């Protein structure tokens, strides 16, 4: 459990791996889309980069600079993800209770994710979580993805709070880096012992096992 009081004016949450259990659909869609290009990648290798933009995954595992193949990969990924049985994943353990407790304190909540805003809102709605959020900020055209601060800054602006008075809750180093680049605080949630051990080196103010701990 984190060892300080939650003294902030707003909380911003990452989506995948933080609020919803989307890893299986993302990983398997990426593996399948890469296989279409003749590139074989283990699921665990993709899981290590959960939350990365598709362009970054392509550069990491293909890296040929071919824009046409990149567009093919992205189209295939979206197709495979949207036909996956877990395309609308459920909330992770403790998420509903944690969000409800924060909302009951009157804290405005937002989502800041690498996904486009519309896709993020659709998944939040399907998971029954959209009602908790005053704003959903995806990485829309013209915005830089995490670890750049864009989604955190836009979410703070929408909530009318300064980043210094906001907390970003995520599950990856890029969430922490985006928060710090914006001037916000950061906490990491890890739903397994392995994830929490890894998160200890991310540079966040604290590591928790459930949003209820906030």
Query: Domain-by-domain residue ranges, the chain?
Result: 10-21+89-213, 23-82
Question: What is the pLDDT at residue 5?
Answer: 57
Per DSSP, the three-state class of 104 is helix
Q: What are phi and psi of 170, to 5 degrees?
A: -145, -170
Q: Which of 16, 150, 171, 175 is catalytic?
A: 16
114: enclosing H helix or E strand: none
- 10-21+89-213 architecture in CATH? 3-Layer(aba) Sandwich (3.40)
pLDDT tens for each residue of the chain, 214 residues long: 444 456 899 999 999 999 999 888 999 999 999 999 999 999 989 988 888 899 999 999 999 999 999 999 999 999 998 898 888 899 999 999 999 999 999 999 999 999 999 999 999 999 999 999 999 999 999 999 999 999 999 999 999 999 999 999 999 999 999 999 999 999 999 999 999 999 999 999 999 999 999 8
Answer yes or no: 150 catalytic. Answer: no
Among 98, 157, 151, 91, smallest CA distance to 124 is for 91
Q: Which of 7, 9, 14, 193 is catalytic?
A: 14
Superfamily classification of domain 23-82 = Putative phosphatase; domain 2 (1.10.150.240)
Answer yes or no: 125 catalytic. Answer: no
Question: What is the pLDDT at residue 1?
Answer: 45
Question: What is the pLDDT at residue 78?
Answer: 93
Q: Which residues pair with 96 in a beta bridge?
A: none
* Two tokens, residue 124: 């939040």
Question: What is the pLDDT at residue 44?
Answer: 87
35: enclosing H helix or E strand: helix 23-36
Q: What are phi and psi of 56, to 5 degrees?
A: -70, -40
């Amino acid at each position: 459990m984190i060892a300080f009081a939650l003294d902030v004016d707003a909380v911003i949450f990452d989506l995948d791996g933080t609020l919803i259990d989307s890893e299986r659909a993302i990983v398997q869609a990426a593996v399948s889309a890469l296989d279409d290009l003749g590139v074989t990648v283990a699921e665990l290798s993709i899981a290590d980069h959960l939350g990365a933009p598709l362009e970054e995954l392509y550069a990491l595992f293909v890296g040929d600079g071919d824009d046409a193949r990149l567009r093919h990969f992205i189209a295939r990924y979206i197709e495979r993800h949207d036909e996956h049985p877990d395309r609308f994943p459920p909330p992770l353990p403790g998420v509903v209770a944690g969000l409800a407790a924060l909302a009951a304190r009157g804290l405005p909540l937002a989502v800041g994710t690498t996904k486009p805003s519309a896709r993020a809102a659709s998944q939040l709605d399907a998971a029954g979580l959209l009602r908790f959020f005053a704003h959903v900020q995806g990485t829309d055209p013209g915005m830089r993805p995490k670890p750049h601060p864009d989604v955190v800054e836009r979410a703070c602006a929408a909530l009318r709070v300064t980043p210094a008075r906001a907390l970003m809750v995520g599950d990856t180093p890029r969430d922490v880096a985006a928060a710090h680049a914006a001037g916000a605080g950061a906490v990491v949630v890890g739903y397994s012992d392995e994830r929490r051990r890894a998160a200890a080196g991310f540079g966040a103010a604290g590591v928790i096992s459930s949003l209820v701990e906030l």
